[in-house]
Amino acid sequence: QIGILNTQTILAHPEDVIALRWVDENLPEDATIAVNSWRWLGETWAAADGGAWLLPMTARSASTPPIDHIYNPDLFREVREFNQAATAVSDWSDPLQAEWLREQGISHIFAGKKGGFFDPAVLMRNPKVEMLYGRHGVFIFALGD
């Protein structure tokens, strides 16, 4: 079991924990937050960075909730479809991608210390995305209307 803790399984760094506290204190309770993810096992998607802890630590909805979402067939399908589409996006600076996220019910984006397909530098070039938080490699964005 020595290999259980490795760079893929450590999701939240200390900087992510600080940002999660910020989310809890500053974002609306009904926020739905897009997070970086990766295909973990077969068709199962898992959050890839500190965003994995949004639901347990802040009670905010996330595009990829904790892994037990697989036991709800409808939620499992929804999470899988969202992540397949999100990982196929080649340019998050395109305003149409922010509109697509809004259509999916997303209000915010969490890009944690570990990183993933939500590249903060690219998101900052999207005119429909506003950076709310950016500290020590963790970024939180709001989607404009």
Cα atoms in the Cβ-side hemisphere of radius 13 Å centred on 13: 15
Residue 9 has pLDDT above 60, yes or no: no
What pLDDT, on the 0 to 100 scale, is given for residue 57? 92
58/69: higher pLDDT: 58
3-state secondary structure of 73: helix
What pLDDT, on the 0 to 100 scale, is given for residue 2? 60
If we measure between CA atoms, which residue out of 115, 103, 105 comes closest to residue 139? 115
Determine the average pLDDT of the residues in 36-64: 90
